[in-house]
Amino acid sequence: MQKSGKFKFKRQKYQVLNIVDENKKEIGSVRIEPNEISWKPAGTTRWYTLPIQQFAELAVAKGVKSEIAV
The predicted pLDDT at position 39 comes to 98
Chunked mean pLDDT (size 10), the chain, 70 residues: 74 95 98 96 97 96 86
The predicted pLDDT at position 1 comes to 53
- Within 8 A by CB and 6+ apart from 25, the residues are 42
User: What are the DSSP E strand ranges found in the chain?
Assistant: 15-20, 26-32, 36-41, 48-51
The domain ranges of the chain are 15-62
Half-sphere exposure of 47 (CA within 13 A, CB side): 12
| Beta-sheet pairing, 36-41 with 48-51 | antiparallel
Q: How far apart are the first and last CA of the chain?
A: 44
Is the pTM value of this prediction over 0.85? Answer: no
